[in-house]
Structure 1
Amino acid sequence: MQVNINGIETRYVLSNEGGGPWLTFIHQLGGDLSVWDQLAGYFRDNYTVLRYDLRGHGKTALSREPFGIADLSHDLATLLDTLGAPSTHLVGMSLGGMIAQQFALDHPSRVDTLTIADTNGGTPPESRALWDQRAASARTDGMGSLVSSTMSRWLTPDFQRAHPEAVEPIREVFSHTLSEGYAMACEALRDFDVRSKLGTIRCPTLTVAGRHDTGTPPAATQAIADAIEGARFELLDAAHLAPIEQSHRFAALLETFLERPV
């Protein structure tokens, strides 16, 4: 389905076979909603599952102007308004985890629970140049120049060898992401920092990291849990896309977390 969100044609998929509480998944930089196919299938019998493509990703149109993570949070709020969702359980991975944190700060009453994976609460000053470099590479040399290094960070070699059927769609989506959409998102990510505000988040929170994640070290994700009162931290045997590489374990963790009394 397509809907105009803040002037941008946005693709979303809504699975509400169960008609239960809302559960929204937010994908990573250079990804699209398809990365959540397996997990959406697992939860759709008991939840109203929403997935969508971020600006300049998948089949969502490119933003005309530069944007920040707060703008991506506003996009989600508008999408939920359009679909009639007063609140949602929220799951975000990597860039999606940053958007989820921002949304929880911007709209605390609309987040039933917060689950964030392989992400951090802010880009440290020493890493900002890295995001400028990736944005420049995408614009100058195209997404193909970034595929190999990205896949090596995202998924462990063992997983890539054992599960080509899972790896190739992720590689294809990344390769076909609009260069400018990727670059603009890199710049939004570069400027993100909510670390000083995390202590104000009050919703039940689960944080998950991949033990072998070199791009976002597990300590960065654990620091978010340490900053949010009562938050839980889990470490999985995976690289950056831990919810995908360890999908069964992640689904079990999420299911248990969602079902606990609030």
Structure 2
Amino acid sequence: MDRLFANGTVNAAQFGEGPPLFLFHSLLSDRASFDAIVPDLSKSFRVIVPELPGFGRSQAVTGGLAAVADRMAEAVKDAAPAKDAIVLGNGYGGFVALQMAIRHPGIASKFVLADCGAAFSEPGREAFRNMAAASRAKGLAAITDVAMRRLFAPDFQAAHPDLMADRRAAFLRTDLDVFCAACDALASLDLRPELGKVKSPVLVLVGEHDEATPPPMSHELASLLPQAHLEIIPGCAHVPQLQSPELFLDVIGDFLPATFSAPA
């Protein structure tokens, strides 16, 4: 069932009862990328899966990634005023969660940052500039193959044609202006000088074969955060919770409260 938070600007689905657990989706996907793990998580948590600003029925914001993070901070405060929330972000959602942790200390008790980082290499920055330029010139359809390659390895794509058709359709529903603005923000992002402000415990995760946010970015992120632990998820790329949900839940299980038990 969907609910609106942050004065009606953020649309989110809610499942289960218990401590609040937010799931922030990636740029190249949508909130359905968490569908495979929500049923297990909702046995122990009130799982809140928002559409990030500009996606689905959530209102867009101007002002870059900081404004996106501020809007999501409003949503977290609205849904979890006791500040006992756990926030899990994947990809772009991870960057939003990290920026939120920097700008709003104490807003959540723990963070799980999956397949993100604090800054991209120059080739990574160039990739975002190229995607933005190509999509502005020719539309999102022109970069769909590139987008899917950043999410999933070719062999995984070949083995899961129905899933890939669904993910392509989800990407093509993305608002072009929101996508390009996010690409511009990520191409210039460097949060490394501010990571010391994050006081909450953080679990940093990355898929072993992630090409969009390669493992060195997660190594750097974990090394610069005051309280962080790094886990590499074998055999996975940029959206491990979709590619290998049971393994993903097993990896995050020890970091979550003891009330949660990963599926056997």
Which residue of 233, 237, 252 maps to 1:254?
252
Task: Give the equivalent residue in structure 2 for 1:184.
Answer: 181
Is it true that 1:27 corresponds to 2:28 in the alignment? no
Which residue of 198, 206, 211 maps to 2:208?
211
Report how far residue 139 of structure 1 moved: 1.8
Q: Give the residue type in structure 2 aligned to 1:227.
A: L
Deviation readout 1:97-119 (Å, 9 max, x if unpaired)? 11111111122212111111111
| Alignment gaps of 5+ in structure 2 | 260-264
Which residue of 64, 76, 79 maps to 1:80?
76
- Is contact 1:33–1:58 with CA below 8 Å preserved after alignment? no
* Structure 1 Cα separation of the partners of residues 44 and 203 of structure 2: 19
Report how far residue 154 of structure 1 moved: 0.9
| Aligned-CA RMSD value | 2.2
Is it true that 1:151 corresponds to 2:148 in the alignment? yes
Q: Return the TM-score normalized by structure 2.
A: 0.88
- Is contact 1:58–1:173 with CA below 8 Å preserved after alignment? no
Task: Give the equivalent residue in structure 2 for 1:68.
Answer: 64
Report how far residue 171 of structure 1 moved: 1.6
Deviation readout 1:10-53 (Å, 9 max, x if unpaired)? 321111x2x21110011111322111112122101210111111
Query: SS at the partner of 2:35?
Result: helix
Task: Give the equivalent residue in structure 1 for 2:114.
Answer: 117
May I ask how many residue pairs the two structures share in their alignment?
256
Deviation readout 1:38-71 (Å, 9 max, x if unpaired)? 21221012101111112222333444x4x32111
Q: Give the residue type in structure 2 aligned to 1:49.
A: V
* Structure 2 Cα separation of the partners of residues 81 and 111 of structure 1: 9
Which residue of 31, 47, 50 maps to 1:49?
47
Q: Give the residue type in structure 1 aligned to 2:18.
A: G
* Structure 2 Cα separation of the partners of residues 111 and 68 of structure 1: 22
Listed as ranges, the matches of 1:169-180 within 5 Å are 169-180=166-177
- Is contact 1:2–1:9 with CA below 8 Å preserved after alignment? no
Report how far residue 4 of structure 1 moved: 6.8
Query: SS at the partner of 1:207?
Result: strand
Report how far residue 156 of structure 1 moved: 1.7
Query: SS at the partner of 1:111?
Result: coil
- Is contact 1:120–1:216 with CA below 8 Å preserved after alignment? yes
* Structure 1 Cα separation of the partners of residues 176 and 191 of structure 2: 27
* Structure 1 Cα separation of the partners of residues 162 and 152 of structure 2: 13
Q: Return the TM-score normalized by structure 1.
A: 0.89
- Is contact 1:24–1:49 with CA below 8 Å preserved after alignment? yes
* Structure 1 Cα separation of the partners of residues 12 and 196 of structure 2: 31
* Structure 2 Cα separation of the partners of residues 117 and 173 of structure 1: 20
Q: Give the residue type in structure 2 aligned to 1:212.
A: H
- Is contact 1:117–1:243 with CA below 8 Å preserved after alignment? no
Deviation >6 Å, runs of 4+: none
Which residue of 86, 91, 116 maps to 1:94?
91
Is it true that 1:136 corresponds to 2:137 in the alignment? no
Query: SS at the partner of 2:254?
Result: helix
Report how far residue 253 of structure 1 moved: 1.5
- Is contact 1:23–1:90 with CA below 8 Å preserved after alignment? yes
